[in-house]
Structure 1
Amino acid sequence: MADNKVVVYAGPGQVAIENIEFPKLEIPREVAEGLGIKQAAPHAVILKLVTTNICGSDQHMVRGRTTAPVGQSLGHEITGEIVEIGDDVLFHKVGDICSVPFNIACGRCRMCNEGKTGICLNVNPARAGAAYGYVDMGGWVGGQAEYVMIPFADFNLLKFPDRDAALEKILDLTMLSDIFPTGYHGAYTAGVTTGSTVYVAGAGPVGLAAAYSAQLLGASTVIVGDMNADRLAQAASFGCEIADLSKGDSLVDIVSDILGEPEVDAAVDAVGFEARGHGKDAAEAPATVLNDIMNVSRAGASLGIPGLYVTGDPGAVDDAAKVGQIGVRLGLGWAKSHTFVTGQCPVKQYNRKLMNLILADKAHIAKAVNATTISLDDAAVGYAAFDKGAAQKFVIDPHGMVRA
């Protein structure tokens, strides 16, 4: 019975809406068989999606820049209302509105016990770590849908304490599933603190979230670099300095003009493997941002790298890059004693505290990233606009709960 609409990858540059079966309280067969565990999931819940967002990571798949197969379901930024619970779910009830970390975590393995929920060992037979609706991440159905199954619910769900208050701030709270914690993680692991000077590469939603988070952490100056004028204007709208790299100017010179010195205390890569060189018509050069942030960061700095890097990129510029091997100047980072922090953000380390800031009216992340609501049926329109560089974070509203 087809009772659930879901967004799927339909080929390079295309997404489609498909009708699939209403979710069951079961984990994917490939996960169960690959790990030798039961498919039945009494620890799970079914959510009715309140909001689900389009992410730059989704866009990599839709551009054909991963090994995602046609038909791959999409969506890992999930906020929803519980409509069904398994018998082993103890601490949630039907009607609760919750944020879902994009990392799927069992809450029982060594990595989960260490707080490293982005690399859970019990949710993906192929590698450590899993996510909803993403290639090579375990086969979990995506959340750009009407309904979705969430496993290990007692561990994974972050319940909003008051339903009405949550719905009033839902455009801020929807960012807790990924980009707000991810941006915060990038800034935090870069060592941003009171008075820091910070460079953030990329003014997409994650970059904007990182810049906003750097301000929350007490940065004195946050410089955001990009080649998209609208996205740079969005960064400037909440007090960031901007580095317009479309002109081909030296990033070191831009930083010097702003700070009076050529280096920053901390830097964040919010671009990832589809980076381009400097200049309006610059070609793709996937190591550009990593080399930039090493170049403009002081000796001893930490580099937060939430930008996505992959092990399989069929559209890469050369054979080495197709397997994630890019021309990083590691010797420079070594000589400057830099610390590199990579990988999925462990969302649960941050989401509750960031939720408290939102509910206390002390964080307005939706405004910072220019949240824009669309319907599920308009997902393709949102993907197309995002791919063209729209300075917006598209929030899908499958059931009209945001508009209501």
Structure 2
Amino acid sequence: MSSNRAVAYKGAGKVEVVDIDYPGYELKDGPGVNPANIGRKLPHGAILKVVTTNICGSDQHMVRGRTTAPEGLVLGHEITGEVIDVGPGVEFIKTGDLVSVPFNISCGRCVNCKIGRTEICLNVNPDRPGSAYGYVDMGGWVGGQAEYVLVPYADWNLLKFPDKDQALEKILDLTMLSDIFPTGYHGAVTAGVGPGSSVYIAGAGPVGLAAAVGAQLLGAAVVIVADMQEDRLASARAFGCETINVAEQDPREQIARILGREEVDCGVDAVGFEAKGHGHDAKEAPATVLNTLMDVTKAGGALGIPGLYVTGDPGGVDEAAKEGSLSLRLGLGWAKALGFMTGQCPVMRYHRPLMEAILHDRVHIADAVNATVISLDDAPRGYAEFDKGAAKKFVIDPHGTTGLATAS
């Protein structure tokens, strides 16, 4: 039996690299595993040697202690890897394939999967529709910030790269297909971005920057990115975005300066439930982003909301926030007839065309999000720097495959 090492949540503010079981074709008991999933047979699964696995802002919410994640949970839902073994029920995926893993775990068999709503699969999580690797309340599937990971329903879930050598040359772009590139793109699509659009994107973290790249790919005329950290805004300006520092500037006034009018066509929330208010000494105010987006988006426009909102937040600013209740100006949204789209991104809807855009040099998402490769042992450092607001997307390389890991 081979060994396996992984990044595990060890309590608020703490992660460790630990020894875990090598994956097999049965879901075992462990931190966060739903009892109804224990013993589940996985003949349709494949075991991957992880090539790259990224630290996500959603992981950071758990590590900050802002969810009900149990200690010991193995983290990581952004996974790219090489297939090294397949179960007896796998027909098309082969050993040696280099693949991207959608962070949504889906069965391909239920009514939601059959209509393309893979983010709310009905058969993989006994708690609720939808599942993901290494994430709280998502069924207990083992995370991929590890040396090896199991992917269920491999023929359905895995996106095979057509040329392995070409894929390895572009691995820092392709690693973003598991989550943030489709997620940001989904935010832009559901906001209605199209040729000639103006769009306001709240948040210049990796998902916000991916949404900005997606908006440009969709033909937006003006992409405005707002954040409170100047180095993140500099990343947005580097690929042609307008920016607003909401710690210092009023969004409406700055939109008017940029566009000559105070409202945009479309809005994207890439911040989520840990949002702060505006101004120098802003405190956490989780409804701020959504209310601002309703204010600055034109009547009849739409909001794409890929930013994460949760049903349980132990660190919420008040009792309402602790259960995910926010003080939204819904009357304003109703009066302006705004559309809202929330929830996880259905990655499989987008990852193949976005892969083609990467392979044919139409987009360079790794540069836009400042992809920074680190070793598995350096994962705790990556989490600590990301928590401090580093303008980077940390990519963990557990086996040194890329040869690009930075020293600690």
**TM-score, normalisation: structure 2:** 0.97
Q: Which residue of 2 aligns with 1:290?
A: 290
Q: Does 1:13 align with 2:13?
A: yes
Decide whether aligned partners of structure 1 residues 81 and 45 sit closer, same or farther in structure 2, where only a CA change above 3 A counts: same
Aligned equivalents of 1:42, 1:31: Cα separation in 2 = 19
Q: Offset of 1:72 from its aligned partner?
A: 1.1
Amino acid at match of 1:244: N
Correspondence 1:219-230 to 2 at 5 A? 219-230=220-231
Structure 2 Cα separation of the partners of residues 223 and 28 of structure 1: 46
Q: Quote the offset at 1:246 in angstroms.
A: 1.1
Give, in whole Å, the separation in 1 of the partners of 2:340 and 2:262. Answer: 20
Aligned to 1:372, what secondary structure does the other structure show?
strand
Point out 4+ residue stretches in structure 1 off by more than 2 angstroms.
Answer: 27-35
- What is the root-mean-square deviation in Å for CA atoms of aligned residues? 1.3
Which shifted more, 24-33 or 11-20? 24-33
AA matched with 1:34: A
Q: Offset of 1:42 from its aligned partner? A: 1.0
2:141 matched residue in structure 1: 140
In the alignment, the residues of structure 2 paired with residue 196 and residue 327 of structure 1 have an alpha-carbon distance, to the nearest angstrom, of 29
CA distance in structure 1 between the partners assigned to 2:34 and 2:326 by the alignment:
35
Q: Please say if residues 28 and 39 of structure 2, whose CA atoms lie closer than 8 Å, have aligned partners that are also in contact.
A: no
Residue identity in the other structure for 1:103: N
Q: Distance in 1 between matches of 2:318 and 2:39?
A: 42
Q: Contact 1:271 / 1:308 at 8 angstroms: preserved in 2? A: yes
Following the alignment from structure 2 to structure 1, what is the Cα–Cα distance between the partners of residues 377 and 244?
36
Counterpart-to-counterpart distance in 1, 2:289 and 2:398: 36
**Aligned equivalents of 1:33, 1:4: Cα separation in 2:** 24
Give 1:50 deviation, angstroms. Answer: 0.3
SS in 1 for 2:92: coil
SS class of match (2:343): coil
For residue 385 of structure 1, report the CA deviation from its aligned partner.
0.5
Counterpart amino acid of residue 234 in structure 1: S
1:355 alignment partner, SS class = helix
Partner of 1:357: 357
| SS of match in other structure, 1:76 | coil
Q: After alignment, is 140-149 or 20-29 more displaced?
A: 20-29
Deviation of the 1:34 alpha carbon: 2.4
Matching residue's letter, 2:234:
A
- The match for 1:34 is 36
Partners of 2:88 and 2:281 in 1: how far apart? 57
Q: How many residues align?
A: 402
Which amino acid in the other structure matches residue 53 of structure 2?
T
Segments of structure 1 that go 5 or more residues without pairing to the other structure are: none
What is the CA–CA distance in structure 1 between the aligned matches of 2:139 and 2:244, rounded to whole Å?
Answer: 38
1:2-401 map, 5 Å: 3-28=3-28, 34=36, 39-247=40-248, 249-401=249-401
**Separation in structure 2 between the aligned mates of residue 65 and residue 33 of structure 1, nearest angstrom:** 23
Matched-pair contact (CA < 8 Å) for 2:376–2:396: yes
State the secondary structure of the residue aligned to 1:3: coil
Question: Runs of 5+ in structure 2 lacking a partner?
Answer: none
1:159-215 residue CA offsets vs partner (Å, 9 max, x unmatched): 000000000000000000000000000000000000000000000000000011000
Aligned-partner SS, 2:299: coil
